[in-house]
Chain A
């Protein structure tokens, strides 16, 4: 006999017993979640952790003492003293019956279903279904098995179990209306609204919301069985938002990106741009061999050691002939923190130049304040001001967090012009205690004006949508001419990205050291061409062939983001781990080792430990905020203005 717990003070919790196990849970907890807390699994189809309950599938019916009929665990809130039974003969019979009804109309084409192996209908039938098959007796109703709903999504109408999740996903998560359940005669079918193709930027979440194989990715159709995939936890490289995802690969190729729920970041929702971007990481267009191509002399492939020695020689020649400031260093917003940390150390401490940047424009007056607002904290702001369309174009999943703040939390979201008059914004806002101001990094100066104006009425926190998966890390770690790691002021005189290229094109900078895929550089267009042409020496660590790689006087292959270990920092300062999901395309050492070897070749001491984990340790020592963030936490600074 379980002893009755002594009367507890009202601490906002209630006592509930599930299958004889006592627990205390916060008031308002659903029976489903209280059971999960005890490790008791209740099968669900229509319920979804990110959506409001509807209780239509009736799979989760459980017995609750004193209730005349079984109740849906997904929609019933626990009451004090409630006694729930999920393992009785009655509940077993209910589950078997529900599964029988679902399977009656299901095509049972599991052998050719993409979802086979990770399907809730399969799994629950295995776990909770009857052990006897009744299938041969039923007549199956046949529907269309391959309805393209868009370029991304294909629907198998036969497999649908009418759980309403896809309809509710649009209602509750994106606020669009694209899918409806239509009653056609005696049948109910999923179809698109007005028969129009899906246009949402977040369609790729549908197959994951679907509990069965009805909604499928066209890109993944018949591609793999889930158990043949190798899963690696990763971060989406498409933008700076830092969406957590699973990299599912097979035979050394990525087959899909799947969501990996981090409630603080993407809240399990990926955008289509990110989700369907994986094929580019399987590209065979890669820089594979080190090469030395002196301006005067014969180009040749070489060993990596020789290439590093050649790079050191070229740099030393420029320093000797001119000065360290005749060298410009360009990092990449797509490099890891470890690489960026080493790169800026190499530039400042070993080469001795102040000309370092990771993009073109000026970041004068940058402070850590620009990144004070966390993604999940958006929901805590009374009001949010979004300047222009760029923040949401750059980081699409931001739109879903804003929608949630607005519709689930009742926050006010003001989308205003990129250059909206600050006084006008203040007037439109009315009274607030905490306002979030969200802007793109190209609009940071105007964001300062708006934030300053708003600060007279209440607290303001800013979010700056950086560019590139690790654009934030590049700033935190001082891959900028004006700040050192941790936003400490750098000695003046350093050139920013555009100035470096201009100086190179004008012949004032003689050597360029460029790492990583650098989208920002490519935006420089003709200026980049002139700079690459004029510089005596162009040392490039790069993964992809292209303009920069072709112009290299020393070319060393880099490792792509899914081929290496390290950390990247998202727009809110969250330091997240990336891990190798694929073997490197090049046989050369990882980028951190290449940079360390170059430093050593230039005569630097203390660069022996150059594996990513050792660099990470050094980085944490140098930047305490990163030590506090650890892996997965946010790097936070107290505000400190930098000249």
Chain B
């Protein structure tokens, strides 16, 4: 159930593994020039940034473009409930750099841009140090850019946009990054965890990857467990693990819990009764209409009201929207306002129906997937907390009295 692939080796809490130790433990970086993309395809590796897009497909689309390309290493980690990218950057920076170098070789890139959240001081320091430990030939390809602390900063077009001209907002128009990204070159934007796995698959092969997943479809995964646990923490689990295992790794529940937010602010609320037994495996979750997203497991504490939490997240997402497209600027804002009215007992019965309908008008309408992600969270909240929503709008009452004061 616990995996040890990405975080195998020294205790991650001891800080970054240096280049010498890294090389001694895992051996030199294989050339990876030929057949790596095929290996990744056979392995079935998917992106760990949230969208779970097949890695090999993405690499091929960049590799097939003419001219030098660029690899953008995405360590922006703007998702407030996630810490796993930070932990990985702080403890295994060379695994990420290995992956980045392999990606550059496979896609014909002569530039590697490390795009790391400005607020993640530890990760920035570790990555900086690690870059300096790399051989000159590799180091010369690399530069580091601090990503502004904003939810949308990590969206791939926003990342490219920022590196190009300092605006961390998604772009609404083609070309996509794989066509013309950083400096107008085909650009591979890849999450740090995905790249770290590339470094391992290149060494151990695709069969190893499938095996290390403990029967799951996607190797091990880093998850961040937060909420009704002693402290938010990051753990590596394999596909045989269920949510309850992750919660236990984090120290177990500190209170009763009715629901779990799975995948992050763009994820789904799942009733606790169903959640505990859910496997932490991309394939198995997607069959149930769920997504591991960026590996977030947010456990709702009994002292928190699901309605209030959801309203807060909706407000946050509306605030964090780049407010370029109509559906976000007006639609997401309207949803967030209505949910806040519900949470603060100022809503009418109609508001629920409106939120339900508006949430249906968001998916697929924006230039990026911000409204889509918000809609997933909102619709799952309406379903999972249906009774609580009803109590709020009909009786202006909450089962968690303390939450009402907080919401106001």
Q: Chain A interface (Cβ within 8 Å of chain B)?
A: 45, 53-59, 61, 69-70, 72, 75, 93-94, 97-98, 100-102, 104-105, 134, 137-139, 161-162, 183, 186, 188
Contact = CB atoms under 8 A, between A and B. Distances in A.
Interface residues of B, number: 26
B127 interface: no
B368 to A, nearest CB: 11
Contacts of B174: 75
Contact of A56 (B325, B351, B358, B364): B325
Contacts of B367: 55-56, 58
A634 to B, nearest CB: 37
27 contacts: A55-B173, A55-B367, A56-B172, A56-B325, A56-B326, A56-B367, A58-B327, A72-B172, A75-B172, A75-B173, A75-B174, A94-B365, A97-B327, A98-B327, A98-B361, A101-B330, A101-B331, A101-B334, A101-B358, A101-B361, A104-B334, A105-B333, A105-B334, A137-B351, A161-B326, A162-B323, A186-B319
B395 interface: no
Contacts of A57: 325-326
Given A102-B330, A139-B337, 13 more contacts: A45-B326, A54-B173, A55-B325, A59-B326, A61-B365, A70-B365, A75-B173, A100-B361, A101-B326, A101-B361, A137-B348, A137-B351, A186-B333
B330 A105 contact: yes
A100 B365 CA distance: 14
B338 to A, nearest CB: 9
B324 interface: yes
Contact of B326 (A53, A93, A98, A138): A98
Contacts of A69: 364
A480 to B, nearest CB: 54
Interface string B176-219: 00000000000000000000000000000000000000000000
A68 to B, nearest CB: 8
Nearest to B362: A97
Contact of A70 (B318, B333, B337, B364): B364
Which one of B324, B326, B331 has the highest number of Cβ atoms from chain A below 10 Å of its Cβ? B326
Contacts of A70: 364-365
Nearest to B364: A69
A181 to B, nearest CB: 8
B136 interface: no
B171 to A, nearest CB: 9
Contacts of B11: none
A137 B350 contact: yes
A183 B323 contact: yes
B365 A97 contact: yes
B141 to A, nearest CB: 33
Contacts of A139: 337
B330 A104 contact: yes
Nearest to B332: A101
Nearest to A55: B172
A134 B350 CA distance: 10
B332 to A, nearest CB: 9
B31 to A, nearest CB: 36
B313 to A, nearest CB: 15
Contacts of B337: 139
A98 B337 CA distance: 17
B196 to A, nearest CB: 29
Nearest to A52: B173
Interface string B352-391: 0010001001001111000000000000000000000000
B172 A101 contact: no
B39 interface: no
Nearest to B334: A104
Which one of A58, A59, A72, A137 has the highest number of Cβ atoms from chain B below 10 Å of its Cβ? A58
B361 to A, nearest CB: 4
A58 B326 contact: yes
Contacts of B348: 137
Nearest to A98: B326
A-B pairs with the 10 shortest C-beta distances? Answer: A97-B361, A101-B330, A69-B364, A101-B331, A55-B172, A58-B326, A57-B326, A56-B324, A188-B323, A56-B325
B2 interface: no
B149 interface: no
Nearest to B315: A186
A102 B350 contact: no
B329 interface: yes
B350 A186 contact: no
Nearest to A54: B172
A98 B358 CA distance: 10
B354 A162 contact: no
A53 B325 contact: no
A57 B172 CA distance: 10
Contacts of A162: 323, 326, 329
B150 to A, nearest CB: 12
Interface in B207-250: none
A45 to B, nearest CB: 8
A444 to B, nearest CB: 45
Interface in B304-357: 318-319, 323-327, 329-331, 333-334, 337, 348, 350-351, 354
Nearest to A163: B326
Contacts of A138: 334
A188 B328 CA distance: 12
A45 B367 CA distance: 15
A58 B370 CA distance: 14
Contacts of A94: 361, 365
Nearest to A97: B361
B173 A53 contact: yes
A137 B351 CA distance: 8
A138 B357 CA distance: 14
A214 to B, nearest CB: 14
A100 B334 CA distance: 10
Given A137-B350, A186-B318, A58 B173 contact: no
A438 to B, nearest CB: 34
Contacts of A105: 330, 333-334
Contact of A188 (B329, B334, B358, B366): B329
Contacts of A98: 326-327, 361, 365
A61 B351 CA distance: 27
A355 to B, nearest CB: 63
B370 to A, nearest CB: 13
B321 to A, nearest CB: 10
B358 to A, nearest CB: 8
Which one of B318, B329, B331 has the highest number of Cβ atoms from chain A below 10 Å of its Cβ? B329
Interface string B140-176: 0000000000000000000000000000000011100
B326 A102 contact: yes
Nearest to A69: B364
